[in-house]
A and B are shown apart, each in its own frame.
Chain A
Amino acid sequence: MLYLYAFVRGSGHLPDTAGIAGAPATFVPLGTVAAVVAEVDGALEPTDENVLAHARVVDALAAANDAVLPVRFGRGFRDGEDLAAAVALFAGELEERLEELSGCVEIGLHVTAPAQPAQPVASGRDCMRHRLRDLARIDTLAADIHAPLAERARAATRSRSVGTSALLRAAYLVPVADVDAFRGAVDEAQRRYSELSFACTGPWPPYSFAVLEREGAAA
């Protein structure tokens, strides 16, 4: 099977990298884009080892190329023909996406609020009112932090997961040259909201912005 790591431009560079199971990554030119693939033996488990190997290949590509479109873990094709056939449907979009992502990296942000001690309330009605107020406060806080950062980035995405204690989980697409300034802005936000916990990670290859419209559910 052909395991797919990422797409780059047809004129892109493939650094010498061993991927999953030590299999070397190779280039498959497909018109104006190129797929970076490797031969694998069949089913793969998402073990730390395999996941890290996948990440390593994508990282190496990002270091050697202006534009990389990372592919999700675990995607394969029967052979080169199948790959070419699938890509033919998307070639235009792949090219566009690569253009949008070129010269950029992803910066991740994760902000949590300290656990609030449960407030003793007199009635069910008070309980509801307090909850409403808390929710509104959290929403406002998250927006206050996210908006100015999104403004600075080429693109931004926010995750709204129910059932986590995260105030904000977001990813920002930032041109490489602007990373330091962006980081400064996050630093500033952290100082302003010192009671919150901030984790800013990156730079990542633009996984969170690697979305094809036609695939349906976006990441």
Chain B
Amino acid sequence: MSRDLPLEQQITLIELVDRVLNKGVVVSGDITLAVADVDLVYVGLRVLLASVGTMERLQGQPA
């Protein structure tokens, strides 16, 4: 989505999202309601899982 926006807006939007998701107070004792703490490794694993599925499907296809 962001690639359709003019560059200036892309920059601002990303700066905003980074702040809301990565900065700001975290009061311990709270519950994480969002998956915002998913770290890079987890994201990577999910991509891997999805791609393994894709590869298996592709292997079934004719060359």
Contact = CB atoms under 8 A, between A and B. Distances in A.
Whether the complex brings A and B within 8 Å at their CB atoms is answered: yes
Interface of A: 1, 3-4, 6-7, 40, 42-46, 48, 50-52, 54-55, 58, 69-78, 82, 85-87, 89-90, 97, 108, 110, 199, 201, 204, 207-208, 210-212, 214-215, 219
A46 B36 contact: yes
Contact of B26 (A43, A51, A71, A85): A71
6 smallest CB-CB distances across A and B, nearest first, come from A74-B34, A86-B29, A72-B24, A207-B23, A76-B33, A207-B19
15 contacts: A4-B27, A42-B33, A43-B35, A45-B34, A54-B20, A69-B25, A70-B24, A71-B26, A72-B22, A74-B21, A75-B30, A210-B23, A212-B26, A214-B28, A215-B25
Given A40-B33, A214-B28, 6 more contacts: A46-B34, A50-B34, A73-B21, A86-B27, A108-B19, A215-B25
Contacts of B29: 77, 82, 85-86, 89
Contacts of A219: 22-24
B31 A55 contact: no
Contacts of B37: 74
If over half of A's interface residues share one DSSP class (helix, strand or loop), that class is named, otherwise mixed; here it is mixed
A4 to B, nearest CB: 7
A110 B30 CA distance: 32
A76 B11 CA distance: 29
B4 interface: no
B17 A215 contact: no
Interface hub of B20, B24, B26, B35 (most chain A Cβ within 10 A): B24
Nearest to B23: A207
A72 B25 contact: yes
Contacts of A211: 25
A109 B15 CA distance: 10
A46 to B, nearest CB: 5
A89 B46 CA distance: 37
Question: For A1, A58, A70, A75, which residue has the most chain B Cβ atoms within 10 angstroms?
Answer: A75
Contacts of A74: 21, 32-37
Contacts, number: 121
Most buried by A among B11, B21, B25: B25
A71 B25 contact: yes
Nearest to A208: B23
B12 interface: yes
Nearest to B1: A48
Given A45-B35, A51-B17, A70 B23 contact: yes
A7 B25 CA distance: 9
Given A4-B30, A45-B34, A199 B23 contact: no
